[in-house]
Amino acid sequence: MFTVNPFAQLAISPVAMQTYVVIMFLLVVAGTLFDVVHKGSAKYFFENWRRSKGKAAKPVGGGELMSIAVQTAVVDVLASGEFCNPRRRVAHLLGMYGFVLYVLATVVMVFNASAGAIWAQLWWLGGLMICVGGYWFWFFIRVDVAAEGNSPFRLVKADLFILSLLASATLGLVWAFLQARGSSAASVTVFGLYILATTVLFAGVPWSKFAHMFFKPAAAFEKRVTRADGTA
């Protein structure tokens, strides 16, 4: 089960699944661009950057900028250094790296039916990491649940990303399990729900926090530069 490409066993055309993946990619690009234009994120970033440079107490050279970029990539992006709470950081890292493995392995297996067993294993590992990090965050770490005592089932629009991601990963793993067990009727039903959840995940970019993953590194880089030039 953990070494078999679940997408290669589907009774639908590989081209149909490949087309679906391409459409999801285009939805992410379009949704991110819409988010940038609608919320003015890029415009705000560059205006803020220009104002900060005008107030700089000292210039920041190219070498220092490169060093800051590396620090941003390693500390703020790869290690999620912005999270002071260690539990939240671990949950975030599990979800982030799980998502990368999950998406990458999905793309490889959809476009290459004969992909090696390692890709199926990475797909399962990525999905499980998403579930562990995501459910841990949802039920035990969220501020409004852990600190404010609200119900973990209380939903707001900002929850769209994490909920659709958890639904996609959970339903995907359940579908693969049922398919491997030979439960054809149940696996077809769960696969349909899996596709629905995945579509909501990637089509909901303008209304979720999905696009934040593209803005956070830029904001972290700017913050480090303002500290270096004496603006902050």
24 touches 202 (CB < 8 A)? yes
More confident residue, 73 or 18: 18
**pLDDT tens digits for 167-217?**
999 999 999 999 998 878 899 999 999 999 999 999 988 777 666 666 677
Burial call 189-211: b when 16+ CB within 10 Å, e when fewer: ebbebbbebbbbbbbbbbebbbb
Mean pLDDT value across residues 126-149: 81
The pair phi, psi for residue 152, each rounded to 5°, is -65, -10
> Mean pLDDT in the chain?
82
Token look-up 């600190």 returns 147
Weakest-pLDDT range from 25-34, 113-122, 137-146, 147-156: 147-156
pTM of the predicted model over 0.75: yes
With a cut of 90, say whether residue 144 has pLDDT above it: no
Tell me whether residue 1 is in a domain. no
Q: In terms of Cα–Cα distance, which of 65, 99, 107 is closest to 80? A: 99
**pLDDT tens digits for 92-134?**
899 999 999 999 999 999 999 898 899 999 999 999 999 999 9
pLDDT at 52: 62
Tell me whether residue 209 is in a domain. yes
With a cut of 90, say whether residue 63 has pLDDT above it: no
End-to-end Cα separation, the chain, in angstroms = 53
Q: In terms of Cα–Cα distance, which of 213, 207, 211, 178 is closest to 193? A: 178
Mean pLDDT value across residues 63-70: 78
pLDDT at 53: 62
Q: pLDDT band at 35, cuts 50/70/90?
A: confident
Q: How many separate domains does the chain show?
A: 1
Residue ranges of alpha helices (H) inside the chain are 14-39, 41-54, 62-71, 86-111, 117-136, 143-146, 160-181, 184-203, 212-228
Q: pLDDT band at 229, cuts 50/70/90?
A: low
- Residue 24: both structure tokens together: 């999801």
Specify whether the backbone of 193 is left (phi greater than 0), alpha (psi in -120 to 50) or beta: alpha
Tell me whether residue 145 is in a domain. yes
Measured between alpha carbons, how far is 176 from 54 in angstroms, rounded to an integer? 56
Q: Residue 178's Cα: distance from chain center in Å?
A: 26
Mean pLDDT value across residues 216-231: 71
166 touches 130 (CB < 8 A)? yes
**pLDDT tens digits for 36-58?**
776 666 666 666 666 666 666 66
Tell me whether residue 37 is in a domain. yes
Q: List the domain range (segments joined by +) for residue 52.
A: 6-228
Percent of the chain with pLDDT over 70: 74
pLDDT at 207: 77
Q: pLDDT band at 79, cuts 50/70/90?
A: confident
pLDDT at 42: 60
Q: In terms of Cα–Cα distance, which of 192, 214, 181 is closest to 34? A: 214
With a cut of 90, say whether residue 143 has pLDDT above it: no
Classify the C-alpha dihedral 20-26-29-32 as positive or negative.
Answer: negative
